[in-house]
Amino acid sequence: MILTDTGPLVALLDADDAHHAACAAALQSLPPGPLLTTWPCFTEAMYLLGAVGGYRYQTELWKLRSSGRLVFHELTSDESDRMVVLMDKYRDTPMDLADASLVVVAESRKHGRPWPVASPRFLGLTLATQPTGRATRSSTPGCKRRLTK
């Protein structure tokens, strides 16, 4: 499964999005199987799609889920607690709820193939699973801090 952030979900469904073509092409090149996201990312995407395309776009997001193309990782209590720690630690970035949810999923699943976690508020975060399963910041200048447990 490909761990998927809000941005690609919105871009896939909004043909006017600047990244629509790139995300649609990337989706075609991904291995078959469902995309994995979290409720915080889904909620954020639902809000953004409603703002740009109304209920019509929101319905398409629901269809991704009902068709099995998009599945939710159900966050555990421990993962939720970890999100609080991450949001506090990176409050100066800032890290929002959706970003934190993806980081904990990547850590807990030792996920190695996330689809961009780079919201406008948290640019430079690339989940690169280390042998320990910990997510780390990319080598983008200014993004060298390690996300550790």
Q: Does residue 59 sit in helix, strand or coil?
A: helix
**Non-local CB neighbours of 120 within 8 Å, separated by 6+ positions:** none
Adjacent-strand bridge partners of 71: 36
Residue 137 has pLDDT above 60, yes or no: no
Confidence of residue 3 (pLDDT cuts 50, 70, 90): confident
Q: What is the widest separation between alpha-carbon atoms in the chain?
A: 42
Residue 124 has pLDDT above 70, yes or no: no
Ordered domains of the chain (ranges, CATH): 2-109 (3.40.50.1010)
- For residue 108, the tally of other CB atoms under 10 A from its CB is 15
Of 129, 91, 94, the C-alpha closest to 3 is 129
Q: How far is CA 74 from CA 38, 101, 118, in A?
A: 7, 10, 21
Q: What is the pLDDT of residue 94?
A: 82
User: What string of DSSP letters covers 90-111?
Assistant: TTTTT--HHHHHHHHHHHHHT-
Give me the chain's average pLDDT, please.
Answer: 78
Confidence of residue 68 (pLDDT cuts 50, 70, 90): very high
Task: State pLDDT tens for residues 72-122.
Answer: 999 999 999 999 999 999 988 888 999 999 989 988 887 544 445 444 333
Q: What is the pLDDT of residue 111?
A: 58
Q: What is the pLDDT of residue 148?
A: 29
Rounded Cα–Cα distance for residues 137 and 91 (Å):
15
